Amino acid sequence: MVICFQCPDADDSSEDTKKVYSPLTLEKLAMQRLLREEALAISALKDLPHLLFPVMFEEAFINGHTKVLTAMIPVWPYPYLSVGIMIENRNLETLKAMLEGLDILITQKVRSSRCKLREINWRNEYHDVTGIWAGSHELLPRLMTQKQPVQNSPGCGVKKELKVTTQLEITEGRLDESDRYLFQWAQQRKDSIHLCNRNLEIQGLTKATVIEIFKFLHADCVQDLMLCHLSIEDFDFLNPYLRQLNNLLNLTVCHITDTLRMGDSDMSLLPPFHCLQKLSVNESPYIYGNLKGFLRCLKKPLASLSITDCNFSQSDLDCLSYCSNIFELKSLNLDSINLCDLLLEPLGFFLERVGHTLKYLGLESCGIQDSQLNTLLPALSQCSQLRVVNFNDNDFSLLFLKELLHHTAQLSQLESEAYPVPLECYDRDVILKHRLEKFCPELLDILRANRMPKEVTFETSQCFNCGGYYIYDLETESCHYEI
Ligand SMILES: [Zn+2]
Ligand SMILES: [Zn+2]
């Protein structure tokens, strides 16, 4: 717990908080005018240029012109229609309007030659833009770069004329009304429509809902699963269902509690997953003493492991160095796992083993001390593929931080590096800004002696009073306050 001595006044006029007003485009204005008369808008569809379909659909969607939405579906001139998760007015009425349009399309004897529609994506979490997208969600540029490992995701194998993809959320044990409607609608048209759920979220368990959903769900379609607010007893019930998810790629679990206080258990919590690539665990008391059993669900080398805000016992850390299927990791994130009372040799062995593949290493807020650092350094220098490291918010003195930098200076692939400021930058608990300005240039010189660093920061801990912190970065070579 530190304070920054003189908390600068937070600057209310900061650019981030200013709202950016963009003028409406001419296209949008023209659409809004046209949509004032729905009948006219619908009759204009036959002459509407392809390029204007997404704009018009978006305007009609946001402003609730449901008749226009229904009319647009049977003549949609693109193979895909994706509705971003952030779009305004995404509710049961707009969903019903779209499904009515699909009903017209299904029952038409002769289809409009213009219609190319094959897939509607409802509730697309990867859709960053708030609006309507006329491309496949799998082709979104952002998805390709940031949301790996879905990039090679194959089609789900179910071949039907029309597909509706959605992400299914069971929150507090219940489905929301749009999901429930969509489910029942698709069920009644299962000969012509494939309802494809790539994402499944179970937040809190109601057995009846899970039973109902798995009656209709194509379990092979699910690639992303999130399990939240469950206790380990819930898994006795859930596991026969989870076992059906043969193509699961990404699993996130958070807030899993160990009400039975099993501790130090070898027992597997989850069924085996045969193609899992990414596993994330967050704020789950269950992990303490149980990591070994938990990792038994892996049946294939994992690409990304993230365990954050959990407590580790020594046996949890030990098991990293001998659990199979985690030795080809590209990304390891152990942020906010308190390691200060543990022996870090097993973590060193582990880093040695993943040194040929590891590209990302996150050890922020792990409470690592000087005396523990030496055991990690030899292994760290072997991680020659590392692109990103984050050691923020650990307790290193100047001497040991320099030692760390002498090692990372050897890692020629590093693109982004985050370090804590040395302990000498605090006087008891007060942040001494001028000391950052004194030490950080020296520290940067250690890296520069070996290579051209690209992105480097040295950060203080957060001020207990104002939540702000000081950061010294390579780009400006100066110290500034951030909040
Ligand atoms: Zn402060
Ligand atoms: Zn599918």
381 in a structural domain: no
In the reported structure, the alpha carbon of residue 481 is separated from the centroid of ligand 2 by a whole-number distance in angstroms of 49
Mean pLDDT of 378-406: 97
Q: Is it the case that residue 129 has pLDDT exceeding 90?
A: no
β-pairing verdict for 132-133 and 80-84:
antiparallel
In the reported structure, the alpha carbon of residue 5 is separated from the centroid of ligand 1 by a whole-number distance in angstroms of 6
In the reported structure, the alpha carbon of residue 2 is separated from the centroid of ligand 1 by a whole-number distance in angstroms of 8
The pLDDT, as a whole number, for residue 176 is 85
41 in a structural domain: yes
Q: pLDDT exceeding 90 applies to what percent of the chain?
A: 66
In the reported structure, the alpha carbon of residue 293 is separated from the centroid of ligand 2 by a whole-number distance in angstroms of 31
In the reported structure, the alpha carbon of residue 461 is separated from the centroid of ligand 1 by a whole-number distance in angstroms of 10
The pLDDT, as a whole number, for residue 135 is 65
Burial class (CB in 10 A: 0-12, 13-18, 19+), 465: exposed
In the reported structure, the alpha carbon of residue 91 is separated from the centroid of ligand 2 by a whole-number distance in angstroms of 23
Q: How many domains does the chain have?
A: 1
User: What does the DSSP 8-state code read for residue 451?
Assistant: S
The boundaries of the domain holding residue 46 are: 28-133
**DSSP assignment string, 227-252:** EEEEETTHHHHHHHHHTT-TT--EEE
Q: Could you say which ligand is closest to the alpha carbon of residue 463?
A: 1
Q: Is it the case that residue 385 has pLDDT exceeding 70?
A: yes
386 in a structural domain: no
318 in a structural domain: no
Q: Is it the case that residue 21 has pLDDT exceeding 50?
A: no
Q: What is the pLDDT of residues 46-101, one digit of tens each?
A: 999 988 898 899 999 999 999 999 999 999 999 989 887 778 888 999 999 999 99
443 in a structural domain: no
Q: Could you say which ligand is closest to the alpha carbon of residue 466?
A: 1
In the reported structure, the alpha carbon of residue 463 is separated from the centroid of ligand 1 by a whole-number distance in angstroms of 5
In the reported structure, the alpha carbon of residue 428 is separated from the centroid of ligand 1 by a whole-number distance in angstroms of 15
In the reported structure, the alpha carbon of residue 469 is separated from the centroid of ligand 1 by a whole-number distance in angstroms of 7
Q: Could you say which ligand is closest to the alpha carbon of residue 431?
A: 1
Q: Is it the case that residue 142 has pLDDT exceeding 50?
A: no
121 in a structural domain: yes
In the reported structure, the alpha carbon of residue 11 is separated from the centroid of ligand 1 by a whole-number distance in angstroms of 13
In the reported structure, the alpha carbon of residue 464 is separated from the centroid of ligand 1 by a whole-number distance in angstroms of 6
Q: Angle 177-188/92-107 helices, nearest 10 degrees?
A: 10
Mean pLDDT of 451-465: 94
307 in a structural domain: no
In the reported structure, the alpha carbon of residue 153 is separated from the centroid of ligand 2 by a whole-number distance in angstroms of 12
In the reported structure, the alpha carbon of residue 272 is separated from the centroid of ligand 1 by a whole-number distance in angstroms of 48
Give the tokens for residue 209.
């809902």
In the reported structure, the alpha carbon of residue 160 is separated from the centroid of ligand 2 by a whole-number distance in angstroms of 9
Q: What is the pLDDT of residues 253-268, one digit of tens each?
A: 999 998 766 566 677 8
The pLDDT, as a whole number, for residue 122 is 87
CA distance 59 to 33: 10
**Which of the four pLDDT bands, split at 50, 70 and 90, describes residue 134?**
confident
Q: Is it the case that residue 15 has pLDDT exceeding 90?
A: no
In the reported structure, the alpha carbon of residue 311 is separated from the centroid of ligand 1 by a whole-number distance in angstroms of 28
Q: Could you say which ligand is closest to the alpha carbon of residue 168?
A: 2
The set of long-range contacts for 291-294, using a CB threshold of 8 Å and a minimum separation of 24, is 291/315, 291/316, 291/319, 291/320, 292/266, 292/316, 292/319, 292/323, 293/265, 293/266, 293/267, 293/268, 293/269, 294/268, 294/269, 294/270
CA distance 95 to 260: 43
Q: Could you say which ligand is closest to the alpha carbon of residue 194?
A: 2
Comparing 159-163, 327-331, 451-455, the range with the smallest average pLDDT is 159-163
- Share the mean pLDDT of the chain: 87
Comparing 137-141, 385-389, 401-405, the range with the smallest average pLDDT is 137-141
In the reported structure, the alpha carbon of residue 254 is separated from the centroid of ligand 2 by a whole-number distance in angstroms of 26
115 in a structural domain: yes
Q: Could you say which ligand is closest to the alpha carbon of residue 158?
A: 2
In the reported structure, the alpha carbon of residue 467 is separated from the centroid of ligand 1 by a whole-number distance in angstroms of 6
Q: Could you say which ligand is closest to the alpha carbon of residue 222?
A: 2
In the reported structure, the alpha carbon of residue 163 is separated from the centroid of ligand 2 by a whole-number distance in angstroms of 8
β-pairing verdict for 278-282 and 388-390:
unpaired
The pLDDT, as a whole number, for residue 151 is 36
